[in-house]
Structures are given as structure tokens and as C-alpha cells.
Amino acid sequence: MTYRAVRIDENPLKYFLQEHTSDSQFLQVADIVLRENKDPREIFAHMIRIATGSKWSHSAIISLLSDSYKGFNNTFLVEAMTKGIRIASWRNEVVPFDQFTVGIKRPRLDWYVETEYERSRHDPSDPEDTHGVGYLRHVRGIAIDQLSGLYDKKTVFELTALFARRVAKRHLQAVPQVAEAADALANMFKKEDEDEYDMTNILRFVCSGLVQYSFFEALRRRIMNAFDIPAHREVAEQNLQNMHRVVFRDDPEGIIADYIHQLQIGKLDIHDSAPEEVLDLLKTALPADFNDSPNLEWRYVILKGAVWRIEETTNVYQPQSDDEKEILALLAVEKSSAQ
């Protein structure tokens, strides 16, 4: 994919918080925010970038857009931090400008089929009301539902082992014992924590795992609900066939494809929670995966306080300035990211 970047504003706070009109939609619910934190004190952020070979160390979901008519004068995000899942303001994502580089991507929903009920709910006077907005709001709801999912020591250990296993499989293929050891650690921590999961039914995530799980789980539930209504069965089948389009990371073992197939032939029931191997795949998504995913489209980059709109082009394109060249370099596929 070829891009060009257009510099459109010098103040990301003012630009993204101004009022929306029918022909001006800057952000949408469930847009994915990627962020690079240049603060040398943020050791965890640097560790993620080093381990994954990525410039991005954090991701979040746009939850609520500014709308003074409804009483909201800020835009809010749902994000997972090392101490738990929280609601954060747009300002916290971009200020200070010299510390944060921010990228904004949006899921491609041209494949998504709306039910008759969804189509009837559209409001042409609402600039937020786009194709698939019901699904996108469901994604937001799933993420918000996880707010009570606080991290504990076992959870951090488990996720660390899962991430270590993923990175080891990618970078240490010549030493398979490393991946095997990480796998054993992950299984041990999960076994110790089984009773707690059963009691609370709360999933635990690192930032990008929360984002990835929310997109997948929202679609699973909407497909499940559609199957329960005979008139919506065809819609359910089409969206199930495209379920892989809301998975934003590589799946070298074909776990998602196998899950979809098992549902289609009736060996698994979509009313049941996704299998453990599916959840592990979702939970170990990385910001680098969102950078690379063709299922997401670039919309904006904020660099040094300047807002750049990203546009796709089918023509051979050369950047018109050094600044634009720097922006376009940020969009490059990160082949060094963990698989």
C-alpha cells in the first residue's frame, strides 16, 4: 500500500476536539490509537519496543467523542496499563507533544453485513453514525466491561510468559527450548489462576490484547445473536465467514481459521466462549501487529505536535518534504515484529 501524508494542523488537542459536522468526522468510536513514548523513564514502553522491534509501545480504543451538545467536551479512550484497565482523556495520549508520537488506525468494515435491525437504527443527522457503528459501539462496550479486570502478580507473570513464548518463537527458533520453557511457565501460571478466573469471569490484558479481544468478542457476540433470529441467519453466516478480518495479528498456526471452520461445521457452538488457544492468540497481540495489519487503515499521525492526515494512493508517490518522509517512514510494515 502506498500513502501520502498531508499536514493539516499544529494543535492535535484543538483539532480533534472541535465540533463534528455531517461532512467532518475526525475520529470514530473504536478507532485504534498507537503511541510511542519517548520518556526514558518509561522502561516498560522501551522493553516492548525492543522485544518486538517496533516503534509503538502502547495502544488504546477511542471510546467517547467530544460532543458539547451531549455534555462531553473531551474525547476519551479505554486503555490497559500495567496497573489495570482505565478510561483516559485524549489530552493524556498526546501531551507533551515532544514525548508522544501518535498514530490512528481504523478497522476496514466493507465486509461487515448489517442486520435489518441495524440498518433501521441509523441516524443520518449523527456524524458518528457510519456503516457498522452498532458493531463499533459494541467493541467499545466490551472494552469498558473489562474495567474491573485489575492486574495481579499472577496475571502479569502469565502474560509475560505468553509474550515471551511469542517473541521466542519468532527470534529464537534455533533454540526451541526457550519457547518451550516460556510455554510451560504460561501454562503453570494459568493453572494456578484457574479458580480466580472461574469466580470472576474477567479476562486480563496488556494494552493491545484488550484492543484485539474487544474487536473479536464483539463480533462473536453479534454473530451469536444473529444466529438466534432465523431472519438474520444469512447475515450471521457471512460475518462468521469474515471473522478473521477483525484479527489484527498474524496467525501462523491457523488458530482463527480452524475456529471458524469448527463453528461452521457444528463441532463448536458460537454461544460458548472462545477456546483457550483463541484467547491466548488474542491476548498476545502487540502494537506492532496493529501497525502492520491490512485489516486496519491509517487515518492520522501526530508527530511533534503536528497533525498529518494519511491518504492511500495507488500511484507511485514520493514525499514532498523531509517532514512528510519522516511521517511515511512511521507507516512502514515492521517485519521485525514478533510473529
pLDDT of res. 305: 93
Higher pLDDT, 169 or 6: 6
Coil vs helix vs strand at 312: strand
The pLDDT-based confidence of 26 (bands split at 50, 70, 90) is confident
Coil vs helix vs strand at 296: strand
120 located within any domain: yes
Tell how strand 76-81 and strand 2-9 pair up.
unpaired
169 located within any domain: no
- Residue 162 pLDDT > 50, yes or no? yes
- Residue 77 pLDDT > 80, yes or no? yes
164 located within any domain: no
| Separation in Å, CA 35 to CA 259, 302, 338 | 31, 9, 18
pLDDT of res. 222: 98
Got the DSSP string for 228-262? Answer: TSGGGHHHHHHHHHTGGGG--S--TT-HHHHHHHH
234 located within any domain: yes
* Residue 71: all three cell numbers together: 455534555
Question: How many domains does one find in the chain?
Answer: 1
- The model carries a pTM of 0.84
197 located within any domain: no
Give the tens place of pLDDT for each residue, 194-239: 555 443 344 455 788 889 999 999 999 999 999 999 999 999 999 9
- Average pLDDT of the residues in 247-256: 95
pLDDT of res. 252: 92
In eight-state DSSP terms, residue 331 is T
**Nearest CA to 179 among 154, 157, 162, 158?**
162
312 located within any domain: yes
- Average pLDDT of the residues in 148-155: 52
**Which residue range is the domain that position 88 belongs to?**
2-149+202-330
Q: Domain holding 210: CATH number?
A: 3.90.1720.10
Question: From its phi and psi, is residue 266 left (phi > 0), alpha (psi between -120 and 50) or beta?
Answer: left
pLDDT of res. 156: 53
- Residue 173 pLDDT > 90, yes or no? no
Got the DSSP string for 57-102? Answer: -EEEEEEE--BGGGTB-S-EEEEEETTEEEEEEHHHHH-STTTEEE
pLDDT of res. 85: 79
Burial class (CB in 10 A: 0-12, 13-18, 19+), 15: middle
pLDDT of res. 151: 46
**Nearest CA to 291 among 248, 328, 323?**
248
- Average pLDDT of the residues in 290-305: 96
pLDDT of res. 40: 63
Give the tens place of pLDDT for each residue, 82-131: 667 788 999 888 888 888 999 999 999 999 999 999 999 999 888 788 99
179 located within any domain: no
Higher pLDDT, 30 or 193: 30
253 located within any domain: yes
